[in-house]
Amino acid sequence: MSEAVLRLKGLEKVYNKGRSNEVRVLNGADLELGRGEIVALVAPSGAGKSTLLHIAGLLDTPDAGTVEIGGTAMTGLGDRRRTGARRRDIGFVYQFHHLLPEFTALENVVLPQLADGTPRRDAVARAQGLLERVGVGERAAHRPSAMSGGEQQRVAFCRALANAPRLLLADEPTGNLDPATSDQVFATLVDLVRETGLSALIATHNFDLAARMDRRVRMEDGRLVEG
């Protein structure tokens, strides 16, 4: 495998739901994601894939185990450094687009760049370029409510890539779309990932989509198994 962009080692996560009622979601989960690799994370609802993605994306912390991004250990960092790493190194895409409704498509892609210190002119140029690349450039001035579900999710992809991260994490990114739109939007996402050379871990229920990725891992009893 090429240099690991994401390395998860021995992740454990237990939720306490009352006395003597622990739910062990992760039980020694390990994963390495190589540079430029697209990996499907396949598991039924409730198996813990969202928990795994949240930990990999530094939105949550494990009870045990380590997270490394680009060879740098992230476990144990303070909130400020974790926030900086999320902003620079990680792009997130969710099942629901979570675009800011009061802002236009262009503004939704510009804002994370401004938060990272990019000059406005450069941020606008990059945002417009990304929107055009995914086929919604003409919708740049529209707010989310004026766009279709597929268009909104394409804008969400652009927002996730706005700061040129090294790692993309996606949780059922086409799960809220009809089958035809889902296929088109997923193809757009894969094309973007291939072109930019970043690594992606994509959770999906869709085995047809999973088969189009480089590798598949599935969750079994809190662990990750190849295949």
Residue-wise pLDDT tens digits, 116-168:
899 999 999 999 999 998 889 999 999 999 999 889 988 998 999 999 899 99
Q: What percent of the chain has pLDDT over 70?
A: 97
pLDDT tens for 143-152 read 999 999 889 9
Per-residue pLDDT reduced to its tens digit, 92-108: 888 777 899 999 999 99
Q: What is the largest CA-CA distance in the chain?
A: 56
- The pTM for the full model equals 0.87
Class of domain 35-64+78-226: alpha beta
* Residue 1: per-residue pLDDT: 44
Query: How does DSSP assign 28-88, residue by residue?
Result: EEEEEEETT-EEEEE--TTSSHHHHHHHHTTSS--SEEEEEETTEE-TT--HHHHHHHHHH
CB 170, CB 206: distance < 8 Å: no
Q: Encode pLDDT of 65-91 as tens digits.
A: 999 998 888 887 788 888 888 888 999
